[in-house]
A and B are shown apart, each in its own frame.
Chain A
Amino acid sequence: MKIIEATNLSYAYGNYDENGVQTEGSDVLHGIDFAVEKGSFVSILGSNGSGKSTLAKLFNGILVPTNGTVLVDGMDTKDETKLFHIRRKVGMVFQNPDNQIVAAIVEEDVAFAPENLGVPPDEIRVRIDNAMKTAGIYKYRKHAPHQLSGGQKQRVAIAGVIAMEPECIVFDEPTAMLDPKGREEVITTVRRLNREKGITVILITHYMEEAAASDRVAVMANGRIVADGTPSEIFSDVEQMRKLGLDVPQVTALAYQLNQNGWDLAPDILDEQSCAFAIADYIERHSKG
């Protein structure tokens, strides 16, 4: 089952004359075909200006495609009568945690979406308590947002989306403004949402380490998807990634460097542990010989 299905998607930001005809504009996306399976964890990578944020905004009807279609659980985002249902299925978390929090108390903010959906008060209470526990901010429920750290604030924003009970959450560079500790907190929460709650996650990022943990990585450049596959498939092609102005996870880069110097490590090493094992194994093999 697919939750999001984009076909031949194009988008241009542009100026329109009085008849609504586009006069000039820069095409940001060109003919993208992209589908996301329910329950999967997909990362979208790309350097600045590659169109990844624009693509994210097309997934829940904030932007409407200039050409092509986006179907969310079978509903076309061009259909304005369906927008409300589309948005409750596909939630979105943005970069700046400060600019997503509406209310002056954490639990009030988390309740914002269920309030908008017209959920009865008793059920709102249940939903927000669950959402805050999932995001690990339950003990801060009476705090004011400005008393929290960046990572905590971003988790408040995540809890606010979870309380809506969406099937899919799009994260648009959720860690770009956070310190390493906050980044870790947020990514752990994102992974838990996917594994434990079965929520489909689309993570837009430029941190390779974050993308390495997903089921699938799509790489964007100049408004096109230029590579799409499992993290090991994508990151093992270090040269291609560098050509696109992107990095690979540090351990993958290390393995690549070693291989350049005559080692023969697997090219698709993505985490520290397997890297350490691979190096130990190599040393063992060669010291015996």
Chain B
Amino acid sequence: MLKDITIGQFFPGDSVLHRQDPRFKLIESIIFIAMLFAAQNFTAIFVATLFAFFAYAVGKIKISLALKGLKPVLPLIIFSGVLNLFFITGGELLWQWQFISIYENGIETAVFMVVRVVALIAGMSLLTYTTSPIMLTDAIENLLAPLKKVKFPVHELAMMMTIALRFIPTLIEETDRIMSAQKARGAQLDTGSLKVRVKALVPVLVPLFVSAFKRASDLALAMECRCYRGGEGRTRLRTLKSAAIDGVCLTVTLVVAAAVIAVGFVPWII
């Protein structure tokens, strides 16, 4: 089940999007989110969605991959759709059965919400599909750098992300090992009611946590031995460099965002 989740995964490639400066990509993603929330009518959201399709084409990422990534959040999407469908009133009453009633506006809002959420997730997934976690961390550290002035621990945050990313595979491996060890001693991890299964996880989590703390203490020691003393005076192997193409991509994004917002203000467009 864990391996089905494609959100947050990175698919190496050599497209324009892959080669783009991660800082620009991050900003463009944020603009895209803003675009989705600023969209006031169907035409606007259609334009924004079209832009997402366009971005997937540029990044040479298959749409099917994004759809697969939506699977784990499907219940959430359906829930928000259904909620809107039944609880929004206004417009013509289309259907009624006892206390359930569906209005015209309800359908509109439900469709609108679902498209928005799907586009949002697909857009954010595209960022991680085309950006390695390390590049993303670098970009966040770089973009948040001004916050250092107000004592926000930017470097520490980035370092924590780096270490977390480094240890995810190690800890997954370890979880597997512990689960096998407990199964070998008769633990029933995947049968029984939900309550039984949650309880069965305790003997897996306890050793996992103990070992994670041990690892953390070892790692801290090793970092100190390699002269780590925080972000001050630290240089980086890779420095982020932006090229002309980054400007082009950002401009395109901004233009589309402007178009989406403008379309929302035109009264005769639905």
A-B contact count (CB 8 A): 93
Which residues on the B side are within 8 Å of A160 (C-beta)?
226
Q: Which of A62, A98, A111 contacts B224 (CB 8 A)?
A: A62
A10 to B152, CA, bound (A): 42
Which residues on the A side are within 8 Å of B237 (C-beta)?
107-108, 111, 114-115, 121, 124-125, 128
Interface size on B, residues (CB 8 A): 29
A146 to B176, CA, bound (A): 14
Which B-chain residue is minimally distant from A128 (CB atoms)?
Answer: B237
* B interface: dominant SS: helix
A16 at the interface (CB under 8 A from B): no
| CB of B52, distance to nearest CB on chain A (Å) | 28
The segment from B22-30, B97-105, B162-170 that touches chain A is: B162-170
| CB of A166, distance to nearest CB on chain B (Å) | 10
Q: B215 to A104, Cβ gap below 8 A?
A: no
A121 to B238, CA, bound (A): 7
Which A-chain residue is minimally distant from B233 (CB atoms)?
Answer: A118
A114 to B226, CA, bound (A): 9
B3 at the interface (CB under 8 A from A): no
Q: Which of A98, A124, A157 contacts B215 (CB 8 A)?
A: A98
* A interface: dominant SS: helix
Q: Which of B169, B219, B225 contacts A92 (CB 8 A)?
A: B225
Interface size on A, residues (CB 8 A): 40
B108 at the interface (CB under 8 A from A): no
B235 at the interface (CB under 8 A from A): yes
Q: A121 to B226, Cβ gap below 8 A?
A: no
B190 at the interface (CB under 8 A from A): no
A62 to B217, CA, bound (A): 13
A84 to B223, CA, bound (A): 12
Of B218, B222, B225, B229, most buried by chain A (CB within 10 Å of CB) is: B225
- 5 A–B contacts from the bound complex (CB under 8 Å): A102-B223, A112-B228, A116-B227, A116-B229, A145-B166
Apart from A120-B235, A157-B222, list 9 A-B contacts with CB within 8 A. Answer: A62-B225, A84-B227, A91-B226, A96-B218, A99-B215, A108-B237, A111-B237, A116-B228, A146-B170
Chain B residues at the A interface, C-beta cutoff of 8 Å: 133-134, 162-163, 165-166, 169-170, 173, 214-215, 218-219, 221-229, 233-239
Chain A residues at the B interface, C-beta cutoff of 8 Å: 60, 62, 84, 87-88, 91-92, 94, 96, 98-105, 107-108, 111-121, 124-125, 128, 144-146, 157, 160-161, 164
